[in-house]
Amino acid sequence: MSEIHDECGVAAIYCLKHSPESQVCTFSEPRFCSYMMPRMLQDIQNRGQLAAGMTTFSPNRGHLLLTHKEIGTVSEVFRMSHKLKSENLMKRYAGAASIGHVRYATCGTDDASYAQPFERQHIQKSKWFSFAFNGQLANYQQLRDELLRENENHLARETDTEIILHEISRVLSRNAKANFLDVMQHLSQRFDGAYALALLTAQGDMMVARDPLGIKPMCYAFDGSVFAAASENVALLNLGFEPEEIRDLPPGHMATIVDGQFQIQQYHAAPTAAHCFFEWVYFANVASTLDQRSVYLSRTRLGQELAAAERAKPMFDWNDGNTIVVPVPDTSKAAADAMAYALGVPSVEGLIRNRYSGRTFIENTPEQRMQRAKAKYTPLREVMGGKRVILVEDSIVRSTTMKVLLGRIYDRGGASEVHVRVACPPIVAPCFYGIDMPTVSELFAPKYLNDLAEPDDATHAMMATQLGCDSLRYLPRASIARAIDLPANSLCQACISGQYPTAAGQHLYQLVLGGAYSASGRPLDA
């Protein structure tokens, strides 16, 4: 699963006033609210490690909005390992309000100009704003083509973020009295895809919005003194908000602070939600709760589903005293532990993840991915030597990492057998809503499925032979909704079904199958 990445995470915080009763704002003056932004971004660092940044607002300086963003982790960008440098940075960017962003990119370039937030300066305060964005526009190419056809427009980057900047600017330029509701209603009519937004203006107003289908997560809290929002609720919990104070922003809604007044408004109605199921399976912090569903509990139920499948069709005797369950660190651990407990088998850490190998950017070749896989995990012969290993993984994407890992478990770990259990159905289609995914031809599973909706026993056996393990078993699609405890029709499961929740997404999939478009939704000749 290390072969796919979410693209980013967003956060926002606004200190309206100082309240001694507030458990969140511990500073004596609300102008120091922005000091908490790097801490919030660290809590969602799992969503992107390529770049980070923040914009702050202060009415007491010439630059009402100031943006700081660079390539690097949150700690690197905000100099958190250097006390003096960090303090000087925080003083320069001190403000009562701030939005922030962590980024992973699909474009393969370490270019700071792509880092967010994006700021648009303007002489009129109502048109001067900065915003951060999580997601992807499935109709990006259409929007880009339309913009370039009009009035000799020019786009400097190949990114959805620049499209969003121009669309927001268009609303504000056409209507001097435009408000946040006008902006979001316009965007919802123009955009097809996933977009969780945080926006801050030079007037000191803030907006956090979630797309009409709620594909990407967004939560918020307000205690009367401090407003905060983030892609995951763990960032708000660690600020000091109580769990009961934290709410999920409903799809098609926005939270705003205008003239110091907090409000929740609906800007677009949708018949049903389409929450990305991968948030619970892999992307989100295991400590987070998204749309009132615990990530940890969802992953434990995936493990229980694996155990139920094992009991229904046993492939070997796991009660022989020589069988162990080993998770692929780290996100598979909850599922592995739950599976092992249900089967009465020890769950042990037979693979140790190297956490200090440094940041690895986008690997474009199989050789690069193989080298990364070799460096990432160390098999423990003392744990796996001579054992039958049930290896639990989140998913198999290209299979490059899994093949390398299996070889090391047999050779270095000394396992006598390895049986791979995948806590997710096979990935058969690309994502056009903000997950970096390979092309269909690069995916492992589709070439074995043919017309099958899901793999049968014979298909599982063929796949196991190709991977080089003793057996393989995926979860069926029905397990996902049961584990997350949400109706299947309120989850986006496009990457495991080929059925997309938006018209542009479904259209792009047909173009990808026809060979005209890449998995990112961009034309191959672009």
Q: Which residues are catalytic?
A: 8
Given a contact cutoff of 8 angstroms between Cβ atoms, the answer to whether 235 and 312 are in contact is no
Mark residue 485 as left, alpha or beta (left: phi above 0; alpha: psi -120 to 50; beta: remaining).
left
* Chain center to CA of 473: 26
Residue 434's nearest CA partner among 10, 63, 138 is 138
DSSP string, 462-473: HHHHHHTSSEEE
* H-run or E-run covering 430: none
Query: Is the peptide bond prior to 476 cis by the omega test (within 30 degrees of 0)?
Result: no
Rounded Cα distance, 232 and 12, in Å: 12
What is the 3-state secondary structure of 367-382? Answer: HHHHHHHHHHEEECHH
Residue 189 DSSP symbol? H
Cβ partners under 8 Å of residue 378, min gap 6:
351, 352, 354, 412
DSSP-assigned letter for residue 39: H
* Distance from C-alpha of 209 to C-alpha of 358, rounded to nearest angstrom: 34
Q: Rounded distance, CA 168 to CA 430, Å?
A: 28
Residue 344 phi, psi (nearest 5): 75, 35
Beta strands in 377-515 (DSSP E): 377-379, 388-393, 417-422, 435-436, 471-474, 491-492
Strand residue runs (E) in 122-240: 129-137, 193-201, 206-210, 219-222, 226-230
Nearest-10 crossing angle of helices 457-467, 400-411: 70
